[in-house]
Amino acid sequence: MFFKRKPKPVAPGGFTDLHLHLLPAVDDGPADLEQALALHAGLRTLGYERFVATPHRYPRRFPLSTPERAAAALDELTAALGAGDAGELGIGAEYMFEPELIALAAEGRLRGLNGSRYVLVEFPKSLSAQPLPEMLFRLRTAGVVPVLAHPERWTYLMEDRDILERVVDGQSALLQLDLPSLAGKNGGNVKRHAVALLKEGMVDIVASDAHSPKDLELVYKGLMVARSLLSESDFIRLACETPRAIFDDAALI
């Protein structure tokens, strides 16, 4: 196995991963079924019980990542996992924000995480941060609850913390942190941002954002870092309880 130790059991029910690229040959996730199965098996070993596959929905960059292709890949993966101890597997999407998402949200056409009201949204790397709170608020009022993917990775957000605080204070979105960011995957600055957000209580959930079995070690390290920075109850809330509530479509904000 890729690591010798694993986190001790953390809570009844284990971890729930709401952001990962698990479907074979759909986006920049696993290249084939074998890689997808290896990623899934590694996360199971780490203590993950529930997964929501979130293929990119960003037609300009990932034209092949369509709902039809994702559904076929999910069927392929589910069949390969068989009736064994695979945990629970759901589907969602990672949307790149574009203004038309607001109309799609109002029409009920966005795919929420495991079919829930919670929709995973990322923003472009280069953007003025100023419009972000309003964009998220408009999505929220259109009937979905945005889950903002990895804010620690976008410099413009971290340089203007008032923006994120407005989002959190206005209950326009939940914030999702990438565990590999805590392990240094995206560089020292991103790691510092991730640690700061976590310590300041800005983060609602942590997720793997894993793309291949190569990310497993980083996910493991990220879990260890999060655990070391947080109280046990906060760690369980961010890694287990809140993700599970979203998986079950419970009301949070």
Identify the residue among 17, 27, 49, 94 touching Fe ion (CB under 5 A): 94
Residue 7 exposed, middle or buried by CB count within 10 Å (0-12, 13-18, 19+): middle
Residue 68 C-beta: closest distance to Fe ion, Å: 20
- Comparing CB distances to Fe ion, the nearer of 19 and 140 is 19
- Comparing CB distances to Fe ion, the nearer of 49 and 209 is 209
Residue 50 C-beta: closest distance to Fe ion, Å: 17
Piece of 73-81, 89-97, 159-167, 223-231 that binds Fe ion (CB under 5 A): 89-97
Residue 211 C-beta: closest distance to Fe ion, Å: 7
Residue 119 C-beta: closest distance to Fe ion, Å: 13
Which residue bears the tokens 């999060």? 226
Q: What is the DSSP letter of 152?
A: G
Partners of 146 in the beta sheet? 119
CA torsion 95-101-106-107 (nearest 10°) is -80
49 binds Fe ion (CB under 5 A): no
Question: Within a 10 A sphere around the Cβ of 36, how many other Cβ atoms?
Answer: 26
Binding to Fe ion in span 185-224, by CB under 5 A: 209
Structure token pair of residue 197 = 């957000």
Query: Contact positions toward Fe ion, by CB under 5 A?
Result: 94, 209
